[in-house]
Chains A and B, each alone.
Chain A
């Protein structure tokens, strides 16, 4: 019988096609996996971009539980370079992974690019209640879920007990006390600073200003409200300018080897940082083991309990993914699985976003050698519940960060005061927003 020259191509004649089609129609009965997810003999390959160390271990956990989904983990850069690659892929229209690490502050930007998939359509909302409220809200829009929370960064104060004791400093509870301590330390021991002011640390600047009530952005459709140089920012700038001029804080670049060495050696007596700060310290600081302690972030008014967040990531899926169901399954596992959550906290010292873990007194009460036996998590757990919600990042946050870095660092370099820098940033960001088609209101 002559080969049927069907449109199905050379190798597959009609009879065989019907056989195959019939076979696939006959097998929907396999109900072990959530509806729509690949059958046991169909391996789905997902690509996942993330930089957090230890991720491969949790990926292995997932693959064990769902053996028909294979995840290819790639580290394409840490922070900014990772987002550059994502944007490049969006521009090219191809090459995006299925899932990627997405920090809270980047979600608005990638939403604006219409790149983030709504995982709510694949059942993500089922895990909503597992997570601390503000973290879920920060990554979603009503029922639209753009990210499954991974970790968060509630702010606190890490300080060197030995340096404080040697210099008879008490742990500051307000910013005024902090300033006094800085001046006192600079007077008693020149060369040792209470902290290093990172003018180019845009993430840190946003976090500390967040605590003070700074709300620079609000987007409503294509309208955008921009106020970076309001009195809150100017006051904050004035506060730090005073300390800088009095040489009570250092202005050396942060996130460098020398800066880490400075924290380790006691040159810097404290670091205002997020809950993941300890992670970085334990792995790179050997001389100061046992000498660090954690305390709540200083407040503007004594007795206040206002906190903010720095960093923290989510698992986000992309609209170009051909396997959104599997991607959602993966994301909800990585962020919501109790064992995964426990791993992130105990092995990588990431601060958990799962309610169950934060309420786990034993976990929160873990004593850390690096902190001389202090149960550091308790400090941050309290802070986590005090994070003041309502902070919105810009839909072009990377651009804003670059401007902040350029201008504030220039002030340190001699070009006016920090307050002036905020004015300059306001101008460039407003003109950028206009240029990008937003209506600045």
Chain B
């Protein structure tokens, strides 16, 4: 019996050894599926885009290699830089408002002092479930100058009809849509971070005599600063790439939204209407570079602020 048992366990050990993955190899095995897909569907297209950007195809004359001409052109292209300036204005307007609200609501929900906490938490997240196409369609209707509900309400009260699509109001109008879509998403992130703070801190600070408000501001908030920084960076990256909302609203607001309103929209128009695929690729890379620079600069400031 003992022999059989011994043999059995020896066989089992051999069997297990055969499928043991070496500890040094394991991380690569785990990473492989993701990295392969990442390379095929992200890196390869990127390399191809770069390849596109150093050539030039024209209706007359075919394709030729042009070194970095497209990039030189991008650096002096007023259409591109006006879009960047516009997005910087947009970001300064939209990000503080959206993240401010997210933070405020997250703190309120986390403090446990409101009624129907779960109800609010879930309902604020719902806009994230609405595709941008539909959200923009809906807000586009709501903004309607003649038949939208805001215009109807204004007429009923006797106020002049609000114009959501002029020079001054177009950025806030788009910012509103973006805020509506993503406030809940950021709020949940902050909420989770706040909830993760161990409760013994609360008891300790209460014993020290801190009120709820002070506790929230002085103790909890600083503890989630890393999370806040991450959301700011992702928001910056997102808003510098603004595309869907102006693309979907353009027919309602042609007087203020033009085909190069944002750099991404410009890249799209270049490729899909002007057939300037090469220049479009260069524009996308320069945009990516601008995004990287701005994100990096922000991270530098943020880290310096944190370490103080």
Residues of A within 8 A of B (CB): 80, 84, 87-88, 91, 112-113, 199-200, 222, 251-253, 255-258, 261-262, 267, 395-396, 398-399, 401-402, 405-406, 409-410, 412-414, 432, 435-438
Q: Are B254 and A409 within 8 A (Cβ)? A: yes
Q: Are B255 and A402 within 8 A (Cβ)? A: no
In the complex, what distance in Å separates the CA atom of A228 from the CA atom of B129? 47
In the complex, what distance in Å separates the CA atom of A261 from the CA atom of B274? 33
Instruction: Rank and list the top 9 A-B pairs by shortest CB-CB distance, nearest first.
Output: A437-B60, A413-B255, A437-B61, A200-B254, A409-B254, A437-B58, A406-B258, A436-B59, A436-B58
Residue of A nearest to B257 (CB): A409
Q: Are B167 and A399 within 8 A (Cβ)? A: no
Can you list 22 contacts pairing A with B, beta carbon distance less than 8 Å?
A: A87-B272, A87-B275, A88-B272, A199-B255, A200-B251, A251-B255, A253-B252, A257-B141, A261-B146, A267-B146, A395-B59, A401-B273, A405-B258, A409-B258, A413-B166, A413-B255, A413-B256, A414-B167, A432-B274, A435-B58, A437-B59, A438-B60
Q: Are A409 and B251 within 8 A (Cβ)? A: no
Is there a chain A Cβ closer than 8 Å to B259's Cβ?
yes
Residue of A nearest to B61 (CB): A437
In the complex, what distance in Å separates the CA atom of A395 from the CA atom of B58? 12
Per-position contact with A for B38-53: 1 when CB-CB < 8 Å, else 0? 0000000000000000
Q: Which residues of A contact B260 (CB under 8 A)?
A: 406
Is there a chain A Cβ closer than 8 Å to B246's Cβ?
no
Q: Are A402 and B251 within 8 A (Cβ)? A: no
The size of the chain B interface, using a CB distance under 8 A, is 26
Tally the A-B contacts, defined by beta carbons under 8 Å: 79
Name the contact of A253 in the complex, choosing from B59, B141, B167, B254 (C-beta under 8 A).
Answer: B254
CB within 8 Å of A: which of B230-273? 251-256, 258-260, 269, 272-273
Chain A interface helix/strand/loop/mixed: helix
Smallest Cβ distance from B4 to chain A, in angstroms? 51
Is there a chain A Cβ closer than 8 Å to B213's Cβ?
no
Given A87-B275, A256-B251, A406-B259, 14 additional A-B pairs, CB 8 A: A80-B273, A88-B272, A113-B59, A251-B255, A252-B146, A257-B141, A267-B146, A399-B273, A402-B269, A402-B273, A409-B258, A410-B255, A436-B58, A436-B60
Q: Are A256 and B273 within 8 A (Cβ)? A: no
In the complex, what distance in Å separates the CA atom of A405 from the CA atom of B254? 8
Name the contact of B167 in the complex, choosing from A113, A199, A409, A413 (C-beta under 8 A).
Answer: A413
Q: Which residues of B contact A405 (CB under 8 A)?
A: 254, 258-259
CB within 8 Å of A: which of B23-73? 58-61
Q: Are B58 and A409 within 8 A (Cβ)? A: no
Smallest Cβ distance from B259 to chain A, in angstroms? 5
Name the contact of B277 in the complex, choosing from A84, A91, A401 (C-beta under 8 A).
Answer: A91
Q: Which residues of A contact B141 (CB under 8 A)?
A: 257
Q: Are B59 and A402 within 8 A (Cβ)? A: no
Q: Which residues of B contact A80 (CB under 8 A)?
A: 273
Q: Are B272 and A84 within 8 A (Cβ)? A: yes
In the complex, what distance in Å separates the CA atom of A410 from the CA atom of B277? 26
In the complex, what distance in Å separates the CA atom of A307 from the CA atom of B74? 43
In the complex, what distance in Å separates the CA atom of A399 from the CA atom of B58? 13
Residue of A nearest to B274 (CB): A399
In the complex, what distance in Å separates the CA atom of A253 from the CA atom of B275? 26
Q: Which residues of B contact A413 (CB under 8 A)?
A: 166-167, 255-256
Q: Are B59 and A112 within 8 A (Cβ)? A: yes
Is there a chain A Cβ closer than 8 Å to B172's Cβ?
no
Q: Are A253 and B251 within 8 A (Cβ)? A: yes
Residue of A nearest to B56 (CB): A435
Q: Are B59 and A258 within 8 A (Cβ)? A: no
Q: Are A410 and B258 within 8 A (Cβ)? A: yes
Is there a chain A Cβ closer than 8 Å to B296's Cβ?
no
In the complex, what distance in Å separates the CA atom of A359 from the CA atom of B274? 41
Report if A402-B147 is in contact (Cβ < 8 Å); known contacts: A222-B60, A436-B59.
no
Name the contact of B147 in the complex, choosing from A258, A401, A409, A435 (C-beta under 8 A).
Answer: A258
In the complex, what distance in Å separates the CA atom of A184 from the CA atom of B146? 23
Residue of A nearest to B260 (CB): A406
In the complex, what distance in Å separates the CA atom of A409 from the CA atom of B59? 28
Is there a chain A Cβ closer than 8 Å to B184's Cβ?
no
Is there a chain A Cβ closer than 8 Å to B145's Cβ?
yes
In the complex, what distance in Å separates the CA atom of A438 from the CA atom of B144? 43
Residue of B nearest to A88 (CB): B272
In the complex, what distance in Å separates the CA atom of A406 from the CA atom of B250? 10
Q: Are A261 and B147 within 8 A (Cβ)? A: yes
Q: Are B274 and A396 within 8 A (Cβ)? A: yes
In the complex, what distance in Å separates the CA atom of A410 from the CA atom of B61? 33
Per-position contact with A for B146-161: 1 when CB-CB < 8 Å, else 0? 1100000000000000
Q: Which residues of B contact A84 (CB under 8 A)?
A: 272-273
Q: Which residues of A contact B167 (CB under 8 A)?
A: 413-414
Q: Are A258 and B255 within 8 A (Cβ)? A: no
Most chain B CB within a 10 A radius of its CB, from A80, A255, A437 = A437
Q: Are A402 and B259 within 8 A (Cβ)? A: yes
In the complex, what distance in Å separates the CA atom of A112 from the CA atom of B252? 32
In the complex, what distance in Å separates the CA atom of A413 from the CA atom of B141? 21
Name the contact of B145 in the complex, choosing from A87, A258, A412, A436 (C-beta under 8 A).
Answer: A258
Name the contact of A396 in the complex, choosing from B255, B256, B269, B275 (C-beta under 8 A).
Answer: B275
Q: Which residues of B contact A112 (CB under 8 A)?
A: 59
Q: Are B59 and A438 within 8 A (Cβ)? A: yes
In the complex, what distance in Å separates the CA atom of A257 from the CA atom of B253? 13
Per-position contact with A for B188-212: 1 when CB-CB < 8 Å, else 0? 0000000000000000000000000
Most chain A CB within a 10 A radius of its CB, from B146, B253, B260 = B146
Q: Which residues of B contact A435 (CB under 8 A)?
A: 58
In the complex, what distance in Å separates the CA atom of A414 from the CA atom of B258? 13
Smallest Cβ distance from B146 to chain A, in angstroms? 5
Per-position contact with A for B4-32: 1 when CB-CB < 8 Å, else 0? 00000000000000000000000000000
